[in-house]
Amino acid sequence: MGSTSASDKHPVGVIGAGSFGTAVANLLAENGEVLFYSRRQEAVDIINKERINNGQTIHPNIRATSDLQEITNNCYLLFPSVSSDSFRQVMQGMAPFLRPDHMMIHCTKGFDIKLEPGKTILDKDIILKPSDIYTMSKVILEETCVKRVGCMSGPNLAREIANQHPAATVIASKFEEVIREGESAIRSKRLQVYSNHDIYAVELAGVLKNSMALAAGALGGLGYGQNAMAFLITRGLGEIIRLATAMGADRQAFLGLAGIGDLVATCTSPMSRNYTVGARLAKGETLQQIIDTSSEVAEGIKTVSISKKLADSTGIKLPIIQYIYKALFEGLNVEEALRYLMEYRWGYDADYM
């Protein structure tokens, strides 16, 4: 690491002790000290004493804490890795302790949407426009005084990182120093880091692919092969790009690791929660049965609902997403949904370029 890196002088903070947050903390610990936040004191005690969390062995350079102020007082560079559902609340809790000189690189692939009390994004009567969608960087800017914001995204399955398999990621930010500090802190012999200045497009890419992972899981659950999977990934990429450009993003980021790279990883790995939901649907389970028996709700379920509602309000044709929505929320049989897609007149091949 360069001598000017903030992580040479300060520990790096990781907020969120889930599977991916733990994997990120272990990566960062290879290069320096890490303060690791969990809101549950029981988890903090286990991490510090037993040196294990979410099935992952904890690096010696990591120390856990349940004190957000301790993290912000001691860490200049922060990596929030919490669910999109709780992200805004966590930022509000951190806000009194944050300073304008903090840098924040979030690892959350999800959207924040402000809804009327009592409403959820799964409600069928919700109408969404692109302006209603908040990325996590927008939440950080809205809720805190931190201005130098970035995100980490790409084909980064937590279990593979935890098993020390080689991988690559993208750190995106409008600020070159955020990219430089993030790369310096996390790059290692097993993680290659690439840069991108279009943080909005990278964030959208990381979220919108979740719906295609559900469809991929359904294909896998039905026992179909790689021809069908390649068809889905290619056409799915087109739908993602069309929707993202309607939301104001540039398409270039979708052709890199954060776009096609992440899409391939999540559509071809049974390790993905979204893939698992699709596979269970294909085997005859209902969405409610899947939700009731899952420890975490797959982000793709919400993404499908959001994408379908955005397609309705913008007039964009997204046939894959439309039929995934019908399978999830309207009881359409997965095999029947596939039949409709095979009969759909697609038109020009690379119609998103």
- Active-site residue set: 209
**Contact call for residues 321 and 244 (beta carbons, < 8 A):** no
Using CA atoms, how far apart are residues 17 and 80, in angstroms rounded to an integer? 10
On the 0-12 / 13-18 / 19+ scale of CB atoms within 10 A, 328 is buried
DSSP state of 256: S
The dihedral built from the CA positions of residue 103, 253, 121 and 333, taken in this order, carries a sign that is negative
Residues with Cβ within 8 Å of residue 210, at least 6 apart in sequence: 109, 266, 274, 298, 299, 300, 303, 304
Using CA atoms, how far apart are residues 18 and 86, in angstroms rounded to an integer? 13
* Block residue for tokens 């430089």: 180
- Integer angstrom CA distances of residue 242 from 23, 118, 197: 32, 31, 20
On the 0-12 / 13-18 / 19+ scale of CB atoms within 10 A, 30 is middle
Using CA atoms, how far apart are residues 218 and 338, in angstroms rounded to an integer? 9
Per-residue 3-state assignment (H helix, E strand, C coil) for 145-159: CCCEEEEEECCCCHH
